[in-house]
């Protein structure tokens, strides 16, 4: 099936039944020692709570036979909690009459979101869940509980005083699968303790445009990295059995091509060839399906002019038939309505509902009214949607409710309460933040700053918590400072503790609304007594459309702070607290050191202070390419023709690839130095089918301090039937190295890792020569038939 035809095909169709069977994935088991299995995540492929349990199937069918058309439609309906709260009150006041209307009159089967657009106490969450489930299970005809879902993206977003982890982009920079697992596990356990059992995470979109407002929610621009970390997160969150009081149903999102937006704006058109779709964007979802992801959320934008919510060939033929996904597919916010109001493919809301259901949507995140219920009932009465089609979706929804244990106990579980605030959460968040930070420049070993030196801290992100957290941080946008725990430390607060308040002075310099807060005279005067200047620039919190920008450059009011302070000739350390790579090339030569802080979360300020003081030896590596210019946005996996120099010969003297970001994918420095041995292959050729090769390189820590060190494995096809990529990321390993210690880094490269989507749009492994890169070393590998 051609994905070009998937994208361009007729969005209307006659329903045809499809036998949806997921082939049980063969458990590969935990890879031992240092061997990194590259074909699929090395530590799991067993399904987590497979959807084929016979006893549960029988229960679902028995319940389904009892349901009326209206009850089935209600199960497919999701309403936001804000509809049921008295917004005139400062405290949380529920409106039980509104809930009864939803659950008893319209039979609504799912509710989402927090009550007041900010974090709630666990007592408030329990009140919400108990009130909802009392109505559903005690007053409803069939006693079917409500399925509640939230966006807990990098921690328990909407639980007061929760510990938040680095955004997914930071987890990608950490190059550590363990953090993806721990974030998934702790977030799931805390969310479950609140009474919520469905989490709309993780994001499996592959970052492409650094303009995109959801860039920080991705694990980065590497398909391999997104796949590995995404699956790690899902398996940990679901815990092998989603009925467990520490687990939730995960949601892989946003299917498909959401991050490939042409404009860089959220919820807009992505123009993608089938080859790009299959090579870059599909693999993380394919892996997540094989790992047992329970639910999927749909791309809010359009693919080649066809809204994905109305594209049956994407949502049914690709997702269900080809990938074998059996779980629940939910829309994003109001996206069926937008087929009519935004995308203009449906002349009426009723036609929009028909399009989406025919395409393969199971549940509509409506989210404000009951028009979906009313119009669905009309469409069934008119014979345009069959009851058999309703059963297909409702079966999936009821199945999930049974699997989550809702049908047995729909209420908050006392046994889950000890997991609300896990004791280890803060320490794990700190370690994740430490490894997420990326040292990008350190001329003359300017960092670390010696003890006792006077430091002037300047900049709009120095004392601003949202810059360290980003979206989904106690509120949707993450910008309400009043919602942050009082114990959370800004960069400035952490530096005062680390260096001593008497050694740290501060001027804001400018704010994040492009306003100057101090004159150049004031800045220069404050700098007179400083030995070092730490300039903290970057972004406020943001999410989705409110985070759209028109210019990737850092605002001039921020870069002017560097220009002014550079007049002093004193060393400037630049800390970039941001969620996407804002361009600062004009002032980069003026600073001695650059630290990238990818929204590192609750403990981010502490980690940054540790790095600046030298208590932390940095180990992060960029999970994306940091551009030098706003119009030069090539990624590491660009087609080689796009990076070829004018001579068309990368081997010629003085010729370099035209992939020239300010900092490339994988960039990242340490306070230690390392020596690399030759790259050794266990064999020089491998067969195109079912073969693998071990790739080993010895790494020595040449410094006198302990370090963590990450290595990436990159490959490139010398010749292929289609233009090969400049580099493809195919592995990463991170290890601890004591002073003087040498360790082997051993990668396993499988033949299928070298596959290409050929001219016929088939994924194949072609014989030929490949270049293999580890650190600054290169070897050649032959693939034979």
- pLDDT at residue 20 greater than cutoff 70: no
pLDDT value of position 87: 84
Mind listing the pLDDT tens digit for each residue in 491-538?
999 999 999 999 999 999 999 999 999 999 999 999 999 999 999 999
Condensed to tens digits (0 to 9), the pLDDT of residues 220-236 reads: 999 999 999 999 999 99
- Flag whether pLDDT at 38 surpasses 90: no
User: What's the CA gap between 175 and 173, in Å, rounded?
Assistant: 5
Residues marked as catalytic: 332
Determine the Cα–Cα distance for residues 413 and 231; give it in Å rounded to an integer.
27
Residue among 744, 752, 730 nearest 696 (CA): 744
- DSSP-derived 3-state class of residue 14: coil
Q: Looking at residues 579-589, what average pLDDT do you find?
A: 98
pLDDT class of 12 with cuts at 50, 70, 90: very low
What are the distances in angstroms from CA 588 to CA 152, 442, 599, 662?
35, 12, 21, 9
How far the first Cα of the chain sits from its last, in Å, is 26
Largest Cα–Cα separation, the chain: 80
Which segments within 459-544 are labelled E, that is strand? 504-507, 532-538
User: 53: pLDDT confidence band, cut at 50, 70 and 90?
Assistant: low
Report residue 522: phi and psi, to 5°.
-65, -40
Tokens of 692: 């693998």
Q: Give the model's pLDDT for residue 647.
A: 75
Question: Which residues does 569 contact at the CB level (< 8 Å), separation at least 6?
Answer: none
More confident: 146 or 34: 146
> Between 428 and 4, whose confidence is greater?
428
Choice among 51-55, 310-314, 383-387 with the minimum mean pLDDT: 51-55
Question: CA-CA distance, 165 to 472, in Å (whole number)?
Answer: 11
Position 13 scores a pLDDT of: 34
Measure CA 587 to chain center: 30
Strand residue runs (E) in 613-706: 674-676, 680-681, 685-687, 692-701
Q: Please indicate whether residue 25 or residue 310 has the higher confidence score (pLDDT).
A: 310
In Å, how far from its chain's centre is CA 385?
Answer: 35
What percentage of the chain has pLDDT greater than the value 90? 89
* pLDDT at residue 584 greater than cutoff 70: yes
Mean pLDDT check: name the lowest of 43-52, 281-290, 655-664, 776-785: 43-52
Of 24-33, 192-201, 702-711, 717-726, the one with minimum mean pLDDT is 24-33
What is the Cα–Cα distance from 708 to 148, expressed in whole angstroms?
A: 40
Q: What is the pTM of this model?
A: 0.93
pLDDT in tens, 447-460: 999 999 999 999 99
Q: Which residue has the higher pLDDT, 2 or 220?
A: 220
Listed residue (438, 383, 413) closest to 619, CA to CA: 438
Q: Which residues of 732-764 are buried (b: 16+ CB within 10 A; e: fewer)?
A: bbbbebeeeeebbbbbbbbbbbbbbbeeebeee
- pLDDT-based confidence at residue 32 (cuts at 50, 70, 90): very low
The span from the CA of 431 to the CA of 165, in Å, is 10
Reported as a single tens digit per residue, the pLDDT across 68-119 is 999 999 999 999 999 999 988 888 999 999 999 999 999 999 999 998 889 9
Beta bridge partners of 713: 731, 774
Q: For residue 173, what is the enclosing H or E element?
A: helix 168-174
Structure tokens at 115: 């009550």
Residue 50, pLDDT score: 41
Residue 161 above 80 pLDDT?
yes
Confidence of residue 646 (pLDDT cuts 50, 70, 90): confident
User: CA angle, corner 378, sides to 376 and 380, nearest 5?
Assistant: 70
Q: What is the dihedral of CA 82, 87, 92, 93, to 10 degrees?
A: -100
| Mean predicted confidence (pLDDT) in 308-325 | 98
* pLDDT of 653 higher than 90: no
What's the average model confidence in pLDDT over 409-435? 97
Whether residue 10 is predicted with pLDDT greater than 80 in this model: the reply is no
Of the listed ranges 35-39, 497-501, 763-767, the least confidently predicted one is 35-39
- pLDDT, residue 51, reads 43
- The lowest-confidence range among 30-34, 96-100, 611-615 is 30-34
CA angle (184 as vertex; 180, 186 as ends), nearest 5? 120
What mean pLDDT value characterizes the chain?
Answer: 93
**Number of other CB atoms surrounding residue 245 within 10 Å:** 19
Per-residue pLDDT at 689 exceeds 90:
no
Determine the pLDDT at residue 449. 98
pLDDT at 760 over 90: yes
Provide the sign of the torsion angle of the four alpha carbons 575, 579, 581, 584, taken in this order.
Answer: negative
3-state secondary structure 283-351: HHHHHHHHCCCCEEEECCCEECCEEHHHCHHHHHHHHHHHCCCCCEEECCCCHHHHHHHCCCCCCCHHH
CA trace torsion 394, 399, 402, 403 (10° rounding): -150
Place of tokens 């790494």: 699
Copy the structure tokens of residue 594.
């650059």
pLDDT of residue 2: 42
301 closest CA partner among 325, 326, 333: 333
CA distances from 545 to 109, 548, 551 (A): 28, 5, 15
């Amino acid at each position: 099936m051609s994905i070009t035809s998937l994208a361009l095909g007729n969005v209307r169709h006659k329903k045809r039944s499809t036998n949806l069977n997921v082939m049980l994935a063969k458990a590969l088991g935990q890879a031992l020692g240092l061997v990194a299995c590259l074909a699929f995540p090395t530590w799991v492929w067993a399904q987590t709570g497979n959807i084929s349990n016979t006893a549960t199937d029988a229960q679902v069918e028995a319940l389904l036979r009892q349901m009326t058309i209206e009850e089935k439609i209600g199960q497919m309906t999701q309403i936001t909690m804000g509809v049921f709260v008295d917004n005139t009150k400062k405290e949380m006041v529920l409106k039980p009459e509104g809930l009864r209307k939803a659950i008893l009159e319209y039979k609504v089967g799912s509710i989402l979101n927090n009550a007041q657009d900010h974090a709630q106490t666990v007592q408030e969450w329990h009140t919400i869940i108990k009130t909802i489930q009392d109505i559903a299970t005690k007053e409803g005809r069939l006693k079917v509980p409500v399925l509640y879902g939230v966006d807990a993206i990098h921690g328990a977003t909407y639980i007061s005083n929760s510990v938040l982890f680095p955004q997914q982009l930071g987890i990608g920079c950490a190059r550590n699968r363990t953090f993806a697992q721990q974030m998934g596990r702790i977030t799931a356990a805390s969310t479950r303790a609140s009474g919520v059992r469905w989490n709309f995470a993780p994001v499996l979109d592959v970052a492409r445009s650094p303009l995109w407002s959801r860039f920080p929610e991705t694990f980065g621009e590497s398909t391999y990295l997104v796949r590995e970390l995404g699956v790690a997160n899902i398996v940990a969150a679901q815990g092998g059995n989603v009925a467990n009081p520490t687990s939730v149903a995960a949601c892989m999102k946003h299917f498909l091509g959401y991050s490939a937006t042409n404009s860089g704006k959220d919820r807009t058109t992505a123009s993608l060839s089938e080859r790009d779709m299959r090579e870059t964007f599909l693999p993380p979802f394919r892996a997540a399906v094989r790992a047992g992801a329970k639910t999927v959320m749909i791309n809010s934008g359009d693919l080649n002019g066809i809204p994905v919510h109305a594209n049956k060939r994407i949502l049914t033929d690709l997702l269900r038939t080809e990938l074998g996904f059996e779980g629940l597919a939910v829309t994003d916010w109001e996206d069926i309505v937008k087929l009519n109001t935004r995308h203009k493919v449906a002349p009426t809301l009723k036609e929009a509902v028909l399009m989406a259901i025919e395409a393969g949507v199971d549940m509509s995140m409506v989210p404000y009214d009951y028009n979906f219920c009313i119009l669905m009932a009309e469409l069934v009465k008119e014979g345009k949607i069959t009851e058999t089609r309703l059963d297909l979706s409702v079966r999936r929804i009821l199945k999930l409710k049974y699997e989550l244990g809702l049908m047995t106990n729909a209420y908050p579980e006392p046994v889950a309460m000890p997991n609300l605030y896990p004791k280890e959460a803060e320490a794990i968040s700190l370690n994740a933040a430490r490894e997420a930070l990326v040292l990008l420049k350190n001329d003359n070993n300017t960092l670390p700053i010696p003890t006792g030196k006077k430091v002037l801290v300047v900049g709009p992100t120095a004392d601003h918590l949202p810059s360290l957290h980003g979206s989904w941080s106690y509120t949707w946008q993450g910008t309400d400072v009043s919602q942050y725990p009082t114990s959370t430390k800004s960069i400035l607060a952490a530096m005062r503790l680390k260096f001593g308040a008497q050694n740290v002075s501060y001027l804001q310099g400018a704010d994040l609304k492009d306003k100057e807060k101090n004159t150049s005279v004031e800045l220069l005067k404050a700098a007179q007594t400083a030995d070092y200047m730490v300039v903290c620039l970057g972004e406020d919190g943001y999410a989705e459309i409110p985070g759209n920008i028109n210019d990737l450059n850092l605002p001039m009011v921020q870069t002017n702070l560097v220009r002014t302070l550079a007049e002093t000739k004193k060393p400037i350390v630049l800390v970039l607290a941001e969620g996407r790579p804002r361009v600062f090339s004009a002032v980069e030569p003026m600073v001695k050191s650059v630290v990238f802080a990818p929204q590192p979360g609750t403990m981010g300020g502490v980690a940054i202070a540790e790095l600046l003081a030298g208590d932390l030896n940095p180990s992060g590596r960029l999970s994306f390419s940091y551009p030098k210019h706003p119009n030069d946005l090539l990624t590491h996996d660009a087609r080689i023709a796009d990076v070829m120099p004018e001579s068309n010969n990368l081997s010629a003297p003085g010729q370099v690839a035209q992939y020239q970001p300010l900092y490339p994918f994988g960039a990242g420095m340490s306070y230690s130095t390392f020596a690399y041995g030759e790259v050794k292959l266990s064999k020089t050729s491998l067969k195109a089918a079912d073969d693998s090769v071990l790739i080993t390189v010895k790494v020595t820590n040449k410094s006198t301090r302990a370090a963590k060190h990450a290595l990436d494995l990159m490959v490139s096809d010398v010749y292929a039937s289609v233009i090969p990529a400049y580099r493809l990321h195919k592995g990463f390993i991170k290890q601890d190295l004591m002073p003087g210690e040498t360790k082997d880094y051993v990668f396993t490269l499988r033949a299928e890792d070298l596959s290409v989507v050929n001219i016929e749009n088939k994924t194949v492994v072609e014989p030929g020569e490949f270049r293999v890169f580890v650190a600054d070393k290169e070897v050649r590998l032959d693939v034979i038939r």
